[in-house]
Amino acid sequence: MQRGTFQLMKSVNKSIILNKIRTAEPISRAQIAKDTKLTPPTVSSIVKELMEQGLVIESDSGQSMGGRRPTMLHINKTAFYIIGVDAGPDKIDAIVADLSGSVLTRSSSQLEASLTNETFLSHLKKCIRSIMEEAPTNGAEILGIGVAMHGMVDVQTGTSLFAPNLGLTNIPIKEELEKEFNVVIKVENDARAMALGEAWFGGHGEIDSMVAVNLGRGVGAGIVVEGKLYHGAQDIAGEIGHMTIDMNGKQCECGNRGCLQTFATGSAIAARAQELLQASEASKKDEAVKLTGESVYALAKAGNKIYEEVLVETGVYIGVGLTNLIHLVNPKKVVLGGGVMNSTEFLLPSIQKTIDQRALTPDAKHTDVVVTSLGEDATLLGAVSLLLVELFEGV
């Protein structure tokens, strides 16, 4: 969908009605008017517009209360499609999804080792163009493209200010993609996008506050309050990975010492395990072993106590960080995702025990901490959600 068309669709009342249909479908016009306090003529007029735009469809599924059966309204989930992109640091993943988040097709493209802004953007455009051509949309329009990007992002301009794992700065993602595809482009930090994906598709119900934490090559978080992302004054809200856990600890890539990121990433876990291995008797026979986060988990799962202890200790560090987060934000739920959480069976009990030992109040101790059910799609669906928020909530 072209950018101008998207803007014409937006109005406060239209978003209210559209979102009401989304959250309560099937629903009648009369019920919408009752629930939203809008007048019946206003509801009828806006519903007519939404039907003409293809976003809403009717069915005769209403239950009669003695008169004519009411006509019920539904979201036409295949009226438009959205492209969601998870960009970097090793590859670009992309999906095409309908308005319900159902994935039609997906693609993945590895990034080369040394990139410039230009070559990164070239990879990004090529991946998006390829999935656009492959998607079985039956001629329906693409509503827009959401991009989840690691590092610091200026969401207003859609610029990647600093992508540390790529070593790039000031990538004009929104500007370049708008010129290339002429659709609405939304760019967001990947951890915040993941949080939005959890709020929309994670099956958490209607909760007023939630934090999603992404633990992988880096550590980041997204804060959702009343369905909306919280960015902070300078757009760095959620940078939990750079919360100091040990002021005398190892130096982080940000320049500070003892950040949570120096304890809780896959590479940090592997480095601590390597140190323990070299100091143990086992190193005499395993001195050539080069560990990764994945191999540490595999060895722990096989019953090796050294590696199991490393993961349990990692759970303590994460638990300390989450306790600080709970004291600061006091969310209803914390959702954990990312590759590190593949070691859930060792990490989660340790995380929960640490929170239980350190949280200030009994209620805080029982903050609901869960692992995402969306798996690796959490961030991709979050990228899709960037467009859904604008469509359904007028944000």
**Contact indicator for 145, 125 with CB cutoff of 8 Å:** no
Q: Is the preceding peptide bond at 89 cis, omega within 30 degrees of 0? A: yes
Report DSSP state, residue 257. B
Same fold for the pair 3-75 and 80-200+378-393: no
Provide the CATH number for the domain formed by 205-372 in this structure: 3.30.420.40
| 322-375 residue pLDDT tens | 999 999 999 999 999 999 999 999 999 999 999 999 999 999 998 999 999 998
We find that the CATH architecture of domain 3-75 is Orthogonal Bundle (1.10)
**Beta-carbon-side half-sphere exposure of residue 194 (alpha carbons within 13 Å):** 32
Residue 200 has pLDDT above 80, yes or no: yes
Q: Which helix (H) or strand (E) holds 209?
A: strand 209-215
Domain 80-200+378-393: homologous superfamily in CATH: ATPase, nucleotide binding domain (3.30.420.40)
Query: 284: pLDDT confidence band, cut at 50, 70 and 90?
Result: low
**Contact indicator for 356, 327 with CB cutoff of 8 Å:** no
Q: Rounded mean pLDDT of 172-187?
A: 95
Alpha-carbon radius of gyration of the chain: 23
Residue 205 has pLDDT above 90, yes or no: no
11-15, 97-101, 199-203, 347-351, range with the lowest pLDDT:
11-15
| 65-110 residue pLDDT tens | 555 677 899 999 988 899 999 997 788 999 999 998 999 999 988 8
Q: What integer pLDDT is reported at residue 341 of this predicted model?
A: 95
* Bridge-based pairing state of the strands 159-163 and 168-171: antiparallel
Q: Rounded mean pLDDT of 208-227?
A: 91
Domain locations in the chain as residue ranges: 3-75, 80-200+378-393, 205-372
